[in-house]
Structure 1
Amino acid sequence: MGHSQRFCVIAQARTGSEYLTTRLNEHPEIACHRELFNRHTVYSALTGEFKARLPSIEERDAQPLVALEQVAALSDQAFPAKRLFGFKLFLKHHPDVRQHVRADPRYRLIVLERGNKLAQFVSTQTARTTGQWTALATKGGEPKVTGKGGAAADAAPAAIEVDIDHLARFVELSTKRYANFNQRIAGRAGVMHLQSETLDERFVEVLEFLGVDVSPELRIVRLRQNPTPLATRVSNWEAVVAWLDRHGHADWTAG
């Protein structure tokens, strides 16, 4: 069969993109790769000899579109029974790749945004502080939180102090990046807008959008890393709530 269709998940860090892409990759028709343009490495779904043939960081950064086609070709060889090739692209990743997926009609775009920017910010800061970036699902369904190098880590990190000015800049920049990207794809066919908060309830819609069978029960590989209420994860909660109230974001306290 081979890869005959393409899609791209457009996102930012801590929006549930890892949860979405790894779950999609479990589908028998979908080869969904992860952060191919991460500045430190090429995160793909490839293993073994195919992973060993991935372009280097230097090769990828020098010719990003060539590298993308190399990954697609390797994916086609590794997963010949899967007809969809997809990957995750952050809004800060290489501008040539962002322009490419916007302009190339072969790509269906899933624009994934987290409505609660406070939750996204706190999740990002917590991960940076602890080095714990992901929670894998064990066979029993319990989370296994991992840090750098994949080592097991504490699943209940200490509360962090939110720098209000930093939060304000984060919200402004995140909002602007999505607005700029959405402006560039206005009127484009083959676009689905999705909020992190509705990922589970709209997952069947995602499969329908991609044109694949919706009946397979797909294994969940990644879990929500920080399921406890935001109020318990922020040490200066009252100051944060006051800022949210002043800027019309009181609903974000519910995260």
Structure 2
Amino acid sequence: MPRFHSFVVFAEMRTGSNLLEANLNALPGVVSHGEVFNRYILGKKDRTDLFGITMEERDRDPRPLLRKLREETEGLPGFRFFHDHDLRILDDVLPDPGCAKIILTRNPLESYVSWKIAQATDQWKLTNARRLKTAKVRFDVPEFLQHLRDIQAFQLLLMHALQTTGQTAFYLDYEDLGSLDVINGLAAFLGVEGRLKALDDTLKKQNPGPLEDKLENPEALAEAIAAVDVFNLGRAPSFEPRRAAGVPTALASDTGLLFFPIRSGPETVIRDWFTGLGDVTEGFEQKSLRQWKRRHPGHRSFTVLRHPLLRAHAAFRRKIVQGEAQDLRRILINGFLAELQPPGEPFASVEAERAAFLIFLNYCRLAVGGQTGARVDPGLASQTAVVQGFAGFQPLDRLLREDSLVEGLGALAAETGAVPPAVTPDPAEATLLSIWDESLESAAAEAYARDYMGFGFTRWRV
């Protein structure tokens, strides 16, 4: 039984993917169809249909083309995929262990400069060295740094998908493309019998020579390199577990609004507001949510950020005071010596509640730091991790703030043509105000440092 039924080459522009594809296609029984899910071309330039499917049909739903590519190709079929191609197809490709993953990378400085030269000369392939076009280009530091962030984010997405599905990929660097042994090793990985006796020499290297010689402003390289934290020393490591996308918790309105709730946020307020818009749909899976999106062109997705101190207190009141999380109550009592009343009963004094809440905030700090050994409840996780989890399905259109919710919801409703209902006030603030002091501000800032830094939160009481 064949090891794989298809393959995908994950690469970027100017990483040598054309050369890799030429050598793959030289292997007997292997067919790579190009950038099949590039939004601007259909596999290759000027092609109008592939396997009887047009670009317009592919753009409406890419999955039929993937199915036909696999079913109707003679041999092992594959394609190239870059970070800016149609990401919808990844739901079918990444979790599938029968689809081989080949990951091709190149020094991002070199690929960026090569891309700038190709833009300037409009020469994207070279088969005859006598036709080489050369140009010196200007190095744009902000543009390069964004280019670097984009490809790094995509590589992290691929790595996480492989880790969570127990798969491995065949990794190649740009310089590996000149090794016959490596390419034949790739053939062995794919499980095909054919081997190459020589590499394809049709495509020529376009921009040999030192990087500085290709630039109008080579001094900008120093600025770019200084801005890149090579060893990632500029951030504290985060051991908070990555969150799932939370698709089953999403609320959808027929007006075209889609809400992804952050637990311990103003969920009830938004649910009441949604109900005022009309019928609410929930209980989605990723497939059904994508179908909803297709049925509602012009939709808008959003979530609501709450101040970390207020959010932690809401979680404390519900999970600890009201007794929703019995296991966590026992941990706080036995492991942290919290003095808690029976579930539902009030504290003896403001000081007693404040002391218990401080212990809870300390537990939250340990939990999001991966130091408790227990699963992090979604109501206690950082909002940064939760929002990143949402982006694993699809980045959201809006991150609203609870302190400007009326304006934010009104603007969203206007974008979809809905008449916004009134927003019901949330009593959470008054409950926190009764016990607030400076020690709570400090403890919350320690527990949720990622949220304070990432979303710019300041003190709750200014």
TM-score norm. by structure 1 comes to 0.77
| C-alpha contact (below 8 Å) 2:10/2:82 kept by paired residues | yes
5+ residue gaps in structure 1? 77-81, 137-141, 145-153, 250-255
Deviations 1:54-87 (A, max 9, x none): 41110111120101222334423xxxxx3x1111
- 1:200 aligned residue: 178
1:130 maps to which of 121, 124, 133: 121
**1:92 partnered with 2:73:** no
- 1:17 aligned residue: 17
- 2:43 aligned residue: 43
- 2:146 aligned residue: 169
**1:189 partnered with 2:167:** yes
The structure-2 alpha-carbon separation of the partners of 1:243 and 1:203, relative to structure 1 and needing over 3 Å to count, comes to same
- 2:221 aligned residue: 240
Distance, in Å, in 1 between the alignment partners of 2:50 and 2:96 is 28
| C-alpha contact (below 8 Å) 2:38/2:86 kept by paired residues | no
Q: How many residues align?
A: 222
Which range moves more in the overlay, 208-217 or 120-129?
Answer: 208-217
**1:55 partnered with 2:53:** yes
| C-alpha contact (below 8 Å) 1:161/1:234 kept by paired residues | yes
Note the C-alpha offset of 1:110: 0.5
2:101 maps to which of 104, 109, 127: 109
Distance, in Å, in 1 between the alignment partners of 2:112 and 2:162 is 26
Note the C-alpha offset of 1:130: 1.9
- 1:143 aligned residue: 129
| C-alpha contact (below 8 Å) 1:91/1:98 kept by paired residues | no
- 1:34 aligned residue: 34
- 1:180 aligned residue: 157
What letter is aligned with 1:34? G
Of Structure 1 and Structure 2, which has the larger fraction of its residues in strand? 1
What letter is aligned with 2:228? H
The 5-angstrom pairing of residues 57-96 of structure 1 reads: 57-76=55-74, 82=75, 84-96=76-88
What letter is aligned with 2:196? P
Instruction: Give 1 or 2 for the bigger CA radius of gyration.
Output: 2
| C-alpha contact (below 8 Å) 1:25/1:33 kept by paired residues | no
| C-alpha contact (below 8 Å) 1:15/1:196 kept by paired residues | yes
- 2:302 aligned residue: none
What letter is aligned with 2:96? D
The 5-angstrom pairing of residues 211-222 of structure 1 reads: 211-213=191-193, 215-217=195-197, 218-222=199-203
- 1:252 aligned residue: none
| C-alpha contact (below 8 Å) 1:23/1:220 kept by paired residues | no
The structure-2 alpha-carbon separation of the partners of 1:65 and 1:183, relative to structure 1 and needing over 3 Å to count, comes to same
Distance, in Å, in 1 between the alignment partners of 2:194 and 2:210 is 32
Residue aligned with 2:163, SS: coil
- 1:155 aligned residue: 132
Between the two proteins, what is the percent identity of the paired residues?
27
